């Protein structure tokens, strides 16, 4: 089969491309190489993919893409390109998020109208829920995001829904819960925590450390995403969580066990837009996608630490 992956040079996108290539498919990746973090990191993510003759990379923004050529013969579209990060999405930077998360998604959906694709799988986020939904979070809960980033991810979800209802675009949305693992972006929590521990630098903890997250290892998120391309119900939304909901303070204890170094913590006020807790009800993904996470938090942290050590991050 032929697949198209937006955000192919990113953390999850590069893993997804490798999985598709290893499964025998041909992949065209698109990436704009925005300056959200250094290009050299994204190029390193692509190193293995560039060795495969079934992988092609197209550099550029989705707004400038030649969709007639790119979508020719494509069965699956995986839309992972986005401006990530909750804390940077306020104020003047909000327009960056609306352009890259909302407008780019609308452009892609327009391009997919009337084309015989089997699925368009959109990478959404647990950030759409906010703090006022029951735990565990179910897909039918009323989403009330507490960050501009979450608003843009929810808006793109709604675009996927309306293009499905009105134009039969077979869109499926995946609400990822705190994905981590090898190639995690340098601005993300575990990457920063490991780096600080190994450099004996203090870690800033926003809040009391009792906030919880449902952590999902990247290979589990990718497996669910691939399953959605064949088994996901068009128009549906799926929670993808790793089943590892723990307090942040417990994460620091695991980091101590993995690295042999005790993190030094500096606590400060919570940041606007940070959710207090996340926990995914994954019953729908289990039923429709056969999704079962396989990597425990400790196993995943050890894998990420090994990758960071080999990549000479510290």
User: What are 231-250's pLDDT values in tens digits?
Assistant: 999 999 999 999 988 999 99
User: CA 62 to CA 296: how far, in whole Å?
Assistant: 35
Tell which residue, 107, 264, 266, 296, has the closest CA to residue 200.
264
User: CA 284 to CA 230: how far, in whole Å?
Assistant: 15
Look at 244 and 121; give whichever has higher pLDDT: 121
Query: pLDDT band for position 230 (50/70/90)?
Result: very high
- Retrieve residue 168's tokens: 């039969």
Mean pLDDT of 149-166: 98
The question of whether 37 is a catalytic residue gets the answer no
- At residue 52, the pLDDT reads 97
Query: pLDDT band for position 51 (50/70/90)?
Result: very high
- At residue 109, the pLDDT reads 98
Taking only the tens place, the pLDDT of each residue in 295-307 is: 999 999 999 999 9
Mean pLDDT of 43-71: 97
The answer to whether 159 touches 102, Cβ cutoff 8 Å, is yes
Mean pLDDT of 23-39: 96
**Phi, psi (rounded to 5 degrees) for 281:** -85, 115
> What is the three-state SS of the chain?
CEEEEECCCCHHHHHHHHHHHHCCCEEEEEECCCCCCCHHHHHHHCCCHHHCCCEEEEECCHHHCCHHHHCCCCCEEEECCCCCCCCCCCHHHHHHHHHHHHHHHHHHHHHHCCCCCCEEEEEEEHHHCCCCCCCCECCCCCCCCCCHHHHHHHHHHHHHHHHHHHHCCCEEEEEECCEECCCCCCCCHHHHHHHHHHCCCEEEEECCCCCEEEEEEHHHHHHHHHHHHHHCCCCCEEEECCCEEEEHHHHHHHHHHHHCCCCEEEEECCCCCCCCECCECCHHHHHHHCCCCCCCHHHHHHHHHHHHHHCCCC
**Phi, psi (rounded to 5 degrees) for 114:** 75, 5
Taking only the tens place, the pLDDT of each residue in 271-282 is: 999 999 999 999
- At residue 265, the pLDDT reads 96
Query: pLDDT band for position 314 (50/70/90)?
Result: confident
- At residue 244, the pLDDT reads 80
User: CA 220 to CA 285: how far, in whole Å?
Assistant: 12
Mean pLDDT of 210-225: 98
Q: Tell me which of 3.60.150.10, 3.40.190.80, 1.10.600.10, 3.40.50.720 is the CATH number of domain 2-179+217-242+280-293.
A: 3.40.50.720
Tell which residue, 294, 19, 288, 275, has the closest CA to residue 125.
275
The chain-wide mean pLDDT, for the chain, equals: 97
The angle formed by the CA atoms of residues 86, 92 and 97, to the nearest 5 degrees, is 50
The answer to whether 240 touches 175, Cβ cutoff 8 Å, is yes
The answer to whether 123 touches 160, Cβ cutoff 8 Å, is no
User: CA 240 to CA 57: how far, in whole Å?
Assistant: 27
Annotated domain spans of the chain? 2-179+217-242+280-293
The answer to whether 28 touches 3, Cβ cutoff 8 Å, is yes
Is residue 157 pLDDT above 90, yes or no? yes
pTM of the model: 0.97
- At residue 286, the pLDDT reads 98
- At residue 312, the pLDDT reads 87
Q: Which of 149, 163, 176, 238 is catalytic?
A: 149
- At residue 80, the pLDDT reads 98
């Amino acid at each position: 089969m032929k697949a198209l992956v937006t955000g192919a040079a990113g953390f999850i996108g590069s893993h997804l491309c490798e999985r598709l290539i290893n499964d025998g498919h041909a992949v065209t990746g698109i990436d704009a190489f925005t300056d959200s973090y250094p290009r050299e990191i994204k190029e390193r993510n692509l190193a293995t993919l560039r060795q495969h003759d079934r992988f092609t990379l197209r550099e550029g923004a989705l707004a400038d893409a030649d969709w007639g050529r790119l979508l020719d013969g494509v069965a699956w579209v995986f839309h992972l390109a986005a401006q990530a990060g909750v804390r940077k999405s306020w104020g003047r930077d909000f327009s960056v998020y609306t352009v890259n998360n909302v407008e780019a998604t609308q452009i892609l959906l327009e391009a997919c109208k009337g084309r015989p694709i089997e699925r368009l799988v959109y990478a959404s986020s647990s950030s759409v829920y906010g703090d006022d939904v029951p735990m565990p979070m179910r897909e039918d809960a009323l989403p009330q995001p507490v960050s501009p980033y979450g608003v843009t991810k929810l808006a793109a979800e709604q675009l996927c829904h309306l293009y499905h209802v009105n134009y039969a675009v077979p869109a499926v949305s995946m609400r990822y819960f705190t994905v981590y693992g090898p190639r995690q972006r340098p601005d993300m929590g575990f990457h920063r925590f490991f780096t600080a521990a190994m450099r004996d630098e203090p870690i800033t903890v926003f809040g009391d450390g009792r906030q919880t997250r449902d952590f999902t290892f990247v290979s589990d998120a990718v497996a669910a995403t691939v399953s959605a391309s064949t088994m996901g119900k068009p128009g549906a939304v799926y929670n993808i969580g790793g089943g590892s909901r723990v307090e942040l303070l417990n994460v620091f204890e695991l980091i101590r066990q993995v690295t042999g170094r005790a993190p030094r913590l500096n606590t400060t006020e919570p940041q606007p837009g940070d959710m207090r807790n996340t926990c995914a009800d994954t019953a729908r993904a289990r039923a429709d996608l056969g999704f079962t996470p396989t990597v425990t938090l400790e196993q995943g942290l050890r894998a990420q630490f090994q990758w960071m050590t080999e990549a000479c991050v510290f």
